[in-house]
Amino acid sequence: MSIDKPEARVRPKKLPLKQRYSLLTRDLDWEPNYVTREQLYPHTSYEGIVVHDWDGWEDPFRLTVDAYHKYQAEKDKRLYAVLDGFAQSQGHLTLSDASYLNAIKLFIQGVTPLEYAAHRHFAYLARHLEGPAPRFAALCQSVDELRHAQTQIHTISNYNKYYGGFHSWSKMHDRVWYLSVPKSLFDDAMTAGPFEFLISISFSFEYLLTNLLFVPFMSGASFNGDMPTMSFGFSAQSDESRHMTLGLEAIKFLLEQDEANVPIIQGWIDKWFWRAYRMSALVAAMMDYMLPKPVMSWREAFELYFEEQMLGGLFPDLEFYGITPPKHVNDAIAEKDKLSHETYKILHNFSFAAAFTTQTPQQEHMAWLSEQYPDTFDRFYRPTWEKHLDIEAGGGRAFFQGLPQLCQVCQIPMGFSEPDDPATPSLRTSTFRDEVFHTCSNGCQWIFEREPEKYVQAWLPVHQIYQGNCGGPTVPDVLAWYGIQEGDNGEYKGSLDQQSWAEWHPTSTKEA
Amino acid sequence: MSGTLRQVGIDIQESEENRALIDAIKQDNPDLTVRHLPGLVKVQSSGQIVINRETVESHLGREWETGEFQLAIVSYAGNFSEWDDDQIIVKWEH
Amino acid sequence: MAVKALYDYDFPSADRAENFGDDQLVFVQWKGNPFFCSAAAFRAPKAMPFGEFVAAMVVPWAGSDPEFDLAAVHDWRLFGEPLTPADGVALTELGIGHKALISFSA
Amino acid sequence: MQYELRYQVLEPKRQSYQNVIDRFGDQPASRYLEATLDVEPRENFHYRPTWAQDRELYDARFSALRLTDPYSFTDPRQYYYTPYVTSRAAMHDEFGKSLGYLEDRNLLARLPEGWRAVLGSVIVPLRHLESGAQLVSVAGARFAHGTSIEQCCTYAAFDRIGNAQMLSRVGIAVGTGTDEVLVTAKREWLDAAHLQPLRRLIEEIMIVEDWAEGVLAVDHLDKLVYPLLYTALDEAALLSGAGSYSLIAQHFASWFTNQRRWLDALQTVWQADPENGAANTAHLDRIATTWRDRALEAVEPLAVVIDKQVPEAGAVAALEGLR
């Protein structure tokens, strides 16, 4: 083309957004013919999922790399301004109470490593999924998850300077008993094939339960004066809405591809709902017991974010594909009045071996709990807390003098009750290759029996201690191996954090 | 369940900037319920929620790209059935 | 259902009996007492007499509840079935094997 | 009152996380270090991967190149997420401005015929090469051992798709806002003789099991492609009335400079490793022997096409200088 008289400033035609996005993403892919598809994508066949047309994948966000960098840089600019301001003004002194930070300790030890794990394994999807569109969405999510891990590390870095329990989060995630709960969940997902990982994390975790897990956490942070955590949380959640979209698109795409996929996916939904729900027990305990100023009860959050939005909204949508609500969902519903109490009791019993502290709820807190849980709290849980208060009034503090029995699947101490009966512990046993395996619930037992070859491998912290693999035979040996430092563990009242807090707030009245 | 009027919802971070966005959503979705939680605003509606670029711009007093919605959103329940240069729609599909 | 994998997916149990040598794991539950969130786990010699097991392991654990009274302990059960313990008899001879769950009331 | 206390400096109980303190003593640490060191899990994995026999979820054996301590390597750019996206936001912003300038004046469509052909048949098809390189880098994001290394691979993977998108936008601009040039370029990527050695090479690199070997194989290719097309050709463009190409090429050249920083540093650390240094050096030599000549064979036909279209470009000679 040669132009004698150049027309200056011709506005070129503009491609429609959708077409332009497609050219910039999926059109980059090509059909290889110097190597085979099987050589290039060796991991997409063995799970039994059938995909006929990878191009059926839609990405409503249509985020290109330049837009990604622009928006994300802006988000981080805002976030780090909050972090810097908070640190410079010694903002930690304006928290509701130092005991609030126990929730954040649990967060960096238990959740931040999951963000990191998600980062690594979405990179696996970005390598191994065959379709260019889901690969790109997975790549974006991989980078986002790295962001989440890092912004959390940076947010909490400031608290780490002044309070215990934050300092060795990474090592602790690999070693400490209660952290094997989240770790084993992600290990389970990552060791599965790419499609199961996609359904477990993108759908069951990110779409089904993320709201329940994160939004109340962040509102709690806001309510207790923790602006940095609220800021990183909401900032991360803005990425999360893209991830939720990936999860929803993933499930619809796979269900639309082939009818043979439906029962496989139903099985994964059944498994992963329960797996993720069980882990959310830690969040339930945090919401109801660890926030000095509670913002919303577990029960209320469960009803709002899970029953109303997911069971009421999402599942009727999935019914179209022949998908039914998760197999053990009624057990979860039946537990909503019990979960937080039973879980916090576990943490309270065992915080001598944890990198956070616990305390028995005081009367005012119990009044709130009985208001939130009129059917269960006074009848089943208050008497035990009263007993603890009596012991403490006499100068004692009762911990569990030993180690607990753990669930083979979720790895939480077996402290849950039968769905319909708070007075009876829920204990299930299965036998596989002449060995007994204990599980805490119908859901965990079902998961075990579905894939016993997988769960027999579990690194159960209690059993590992007894095998001599955790630093030595005594509690101090194990705590040293965990990386727990003086003042990290035990009872909050009288702890180093509480002493520092009192010293930094000399006129504030001390809670008994 | 056959109802097309199931609830959809969007959680938006509470901030000066987002106030105009929320006002725009209110204007375009008359049935909207708005709930304030610490740090965030939860909007819910039966059937669907529509966000129009033009309405947001009129409340914001400047140009606004629908992509910027990603800076505001915390979470949602529903499905992005439409997200183009002019409009975002959240609703259930089936 | 076997685990779907790219190879024959078969691994030994992490807690198989042989990993504990002459010992084994035993779980003990105090029924009806919510003061303890869960059953306790112990590592005990297979040949340990039941009475010694109770005295050396169960009592120090259960005793952290001020209401514990050894004399009141009754209704021993093994996996929910009635168990008639005899202080001098080894755990395994009572049928209490690796990872057995026993319970009592008090 | 706590009021006064807020104006008093509280003595921190520790300056950083314990793992950082263990390495450098109790002193304030950079955000890069806190966000990078020892983040990857090390032990007590619960289950074995269903997709890899005899491997743990994180395992040094995913590559033959190993470090005694993975954190003996740190990124000289000190990129954690925020500086990374901030730097790339600026890069894409500048690229967008350059491209916008060219688009507004329709300058790419009005390049001399030969240069237009070079763009359409050599430069724009490389968006597929970048896409392939992305697949290779992202394997490192998953399988590299140690956060400091995988983090670099992660950003490199994202950069690659960014580069592919920049090239695609160039293609759209050359096609005056249409997809015509992209369509032709893709057809050539699939069929044209001068691109087949390159496509064969990247496809074969994409299936290399050892993630590090894959990344290095791409690097042997990059070390020819980038200096040739975005530096040597840039100069030729300036001298032969194709300044518009120079405006584009500069962004790719500066990206390559940035990419070299971590990759060169990593190779130095691999070779210097106290335990694995000798074995690493032998592996690096073998990798170079395997892939360098093939890279040259794959790039030569591009240089020939360039010289045919723009005889004054001197691409073949420039490539000769790069061997």
pLDDT band at A112 (very low <50, low <70, confident <90, very high): very high
Task: Find the residue in C nearest to D44 (Cα).
Answer: C14
Interface of C with A (CB under 8 A): 1-6, 9-17, 19-20, 25, 27, 29, 32, 34-43, 57, 60-61, 63-66, 79, 97-101
Task: Find the residue in A nearest to D14 (Cα).
Answer: A161
Residue C69: inside a domain: yes
Q: Tell me which of 1.10.3720.10, 3.90.56.10, 3.40.30.10, 2.40.37.10 is the CATH number of domain B7-91.
A: 3.90.56.10
Residue C12: inside a domain: no
pLDDT value of position D7: 58
Residue range D60-80: mean pLDDT, rounded: 98
Does residue D14 contact residue A161 with C-beta atoms inside 8 Å?
yes
pLDDT tens, residue by residue, A77-106:
999 999 999 999 999 999 999 999 999 999
Cα A204 from Cα A197, distance rounded (Å): 10
Cα A511 from Cα A501, distance rounded (Å): 12
Class at the top of the CATH hierarchy for domain D74-322: mainly alpha
User: Is the pLDDT score of A8 beyond 70?
Assistant: no
Residue C4, amino acid: K
User: Is the pLDDT score of A205 beyond 90?
Assistant: no
Q: Which of A237-241, A347-351, D56-60, D93-97 has the lowest mean pLDDT?
A: A237-241
Residue range A243-259: mean pLDDT, rounded: 91
Instruction: Look up the pTM and report it.
Output: 0.95
CA nearest A132: which of D168, D153, D211? Answer: D168
Token readout for A418 is: 């039968």
Q: Tell me whether residue D255 is exposed, middle or buried, using C-beta atoms within 10 angstroms of its C-beta: 0 to 12, 13 to 18, 19 or more.
A: buried
Give domain limits for chain B: 7-91
**Residue A200 has what DSSP assignment?**
I
| CB within 8 Å of A65: residues ≥ 6 apart | A24, D88, D92, D158, D161, D162, D165
Q: Name the neighbours of C, counting chains with at least 3 Cβ pairs within 8 A.
A: A, D
User: Is the pLDDT score of C90 beyond 90?
Assistant: yes
Contact D82 A39 (CB under 8 A): no
Contact D48 C6 (CB under 8 A): no
pLDDT value of position A206: 83
Residue A403, amino acid: L
Q: Which candidate in A78, A211, A234 is best for mutational testing of the B interface (most B CBs within 10 A)? A: A234
Alpha-carbon Rg of chain A, whole angstroms?
Answer: 25
Q: Is C2 in the D-facing interface, judged by CB distances under 8 Å?
A: no
pLDDT band at A240 (very low <50, low <70, confident <90, very high): confident
Residue range C14-22: mean pLDDT, rounded: 97
Residue C63: inside a domain: yes
Give domain limits for chain D: 74-322
Q: Name the neighbours of B, counting chains with at least 3 Cβ pairs within 8 A.
A: A
pLDDT band at A219 (very low <50, low <70, confident <90, very high): confident
pLDDT band at A4 (very low <50, low <70, confident <90, very high): very low
Residue C92's domain comprises 19-105
Residue A39: inside a domain: no
Q: How many helices (H) and strands (E) does chain B have?
A: 3, 7
pLDDT tens, residue by residue, A331-384:
999 999 999 999 999 999 999 999 999 999 999 999 999 999 999 999 999 999
pLDDT band at B4 (very low <50, low <70, confident <90, very high): low
Q: How many helices (H) and strands (E) does chain D have?
A: 14, 0
Residue range C8-13: mean pLDDT, rounded: 96
User: Is the pLDDT score of A396 beyond 90?
Assistant: yes
CA nearest A46: which of D264, D51, D92? Answer: D51
pLDDT value of position A214: 80
Distances in Å between the Cα of A320 and the Cα atoms of A255, A316, B1 are: 10, 7, 10
Q: pLDDT > 90: what percent of chain C?
A: 97
- Rounded mean pLDDT of chain A? 93
Q: Which residues of chain C have a CB within 8 Å of the CB of D209?
A: none
Note the ipTM here: 0.94
Contact C29 A466 (CB under 8 A): no
User: Is the pLDDT score of C12 beyond 80?
Assistant: yes
Token readout for D164 is: 């592919």
CATH number at residue A474: 1.10.620.20
Structural domains counted in chain A: 1
pLDDT tens, residue by residue, D98-144:
999 999 998 988 899 999 999 999 999 999 999 999 999 999 999 99
Residues A308-329 as b/e (b if ≥16 CB within 10 A, e otherwise) read bbbbbbbbbbbeebebebbbbb
User: Is the pLDDT score of A7 beyond 60?
Assistant: no
| A337–chain C nearest CA distance, Å | 16
* B-proximal residues of A, 29-68, CB under 8 Å: 60-63, 67
pLDDT band at A2 (very low <50, low <70, confident <90, very high): very low
Strand order in the sheet with B7-13: B33-37, B40-46, B7-13, B73-77
Cα A41 from Cα C8, distance rounded (Å): 20
Residue A254: inside a domain: yes
Cα A258 from Cα A270, distance rounded (Å): 19
Please list the residues that pair with C41 across neighbouring strands: A403, C27
* C-proximal residues of A, 406-435, CB under 8 Å: 406, 413-415, 423, 425, 427, 429, 432-433, 435
Strand order in the sheet with B79-83: B48-52, B87-91, B79-83
SS3 A48: coil
pLDDT tens, residue by residue, C52-69:
999 999 999 999 999 999
Q: Which of A14-23, B51-60, D192-201, D278-287 has the lowest mean pLDDT?
A: A14-23
pLDDT value of position D41: 98
Residue A368's domain comprises 54-504
Structural domains counted in chain C: 1
CA nearest D248: which of D128, D168, D194? Answer: D168
Residue A26: inside a domain: no
Residue C26: inside a domain: yes
Apex D41 CA angle, D35 and D43, nearest 5: 150
pLDDT value of position A10: 55
Does residue C68 contact residue C35 with C-beta atoms inside 8 Å?
no
Cα A67 from Cα A74, distance rounded (Å): 11
